Amino acid sequence: MLILGGTGEGRALGDAITDDPRFKAIYSVAGRTKAPLLPDHESRVGGFGGVDGLASYLMANSIDILVDATHPFATIMSANASQAAEMTHVPLIAITRPGWAAGPDDRWSEAATLEAAAKAIGVAPARVFLTIGKNDLTAFRAMPQHHYVIRSVDPPDVKDLPPDHVVIAARGPFSVADDVALLKRHRIDVIVSRNSGGRATESKLIAARALGVPIIMVVRPPLVRVAARFTTVSEALDWLRAHHGASLPTERGV
């Protein structure tokens, strides 16, 4: 099994499935972070070289099943996985954690893209908490009047940064108390987030709700088609165990 990871779900699946002697998992990350969290079982770091590279990898390593457990915003990898699975007839399943949903006390607005999110901050100078990772900050260079507090696992490239910024290099999970303190300390007017879902980074949403801070939430990209899609690791595990040894579905309808 090849697990496309970079997520807690990917690691949890690999750890759980390697306890089952019928399975052997290889966990894969892109190598975006300086110190990726890797499991004890076999893993690899770095891109495959596009769709053809992934298809070759699947064949060369006799992969029987491909699991897309990437982050919901890792759109290129998910699309490549779908195409490579189709080319090689290797069954593809996906684990996609549910997105966050606004409650009655939340002040959310939605943006389709990061560019739209940057525009939605408005014209008047604002203090913005940016939690979209380090790779896609350039949209905010077009709105240089704002002060940005940027939190990412590793520091971003200087060339990508808007002029007025503070960088906080930190890896979740974060606590609500710490995020309340952060929002107060930096006098944050608005948060820009992707709708990543999951527990590890939801503390900022709870902190924002408590303080009445608005959030501009970037909506998720469309899903690619896979043979089966699960929202939790345990559902995926059940399916994998139930289908072991069976002819796995390669048609993609979910």
Residues that bind ligand NAP (CB under 6 A): 4-7, 28-30, 32, 47-50, 53-54, 70-71, 73-77, 80, 133, 135, 194
230 forms beta bridges with 95
Whose Cβ is closer to ligand NAP: residue 14's or residue 91's? 14
Least Å distance, CB 203 to ligand NAP, is 16
Q: How far, in Å, CA of 77 to CA of 87, rounded? A: 15
What would the two tokens of residue 19 be? Answer: 């306890």
Least Å distance, CB 242 to ligand NAP, is 25
**Chain center to CA of 191:** 18
Least Å distance, CB 56 to ligand NAP, is 11
Letter for the amino acid at 3? I
90 and 65 in contact (C-beta within 8 Å)? yes
Whose Cβ is closer to ligand NAP: residue 91's or residue 131's? 131
Whose Cβ is closer to ligand NAP: residue 125's or residue 220's? 220
Least Å distance, CB 114 to ligand NAP, is 11
Helix 203-211 vs helix 176-185: crossing angle, to nearest 10:
50
- Nearest Cα neighbor of 14 from 2, 30, 25 is 25
147 forms beta bridges with 127
Please name the helix (run of DSSP H) or strand (run of DSSP E) that holds residue 117, with its range, or none. helix 114-120
Whose Cβ is closer to ligand NAP: residue 125's or residue 171's? 171
Whose Cβ is closer to ligand NAP: residue 28's or residue 82's? 28
Least Å distance, CB 53 to ligand NAP, is 6
**Chain center to CA of 47:** 16
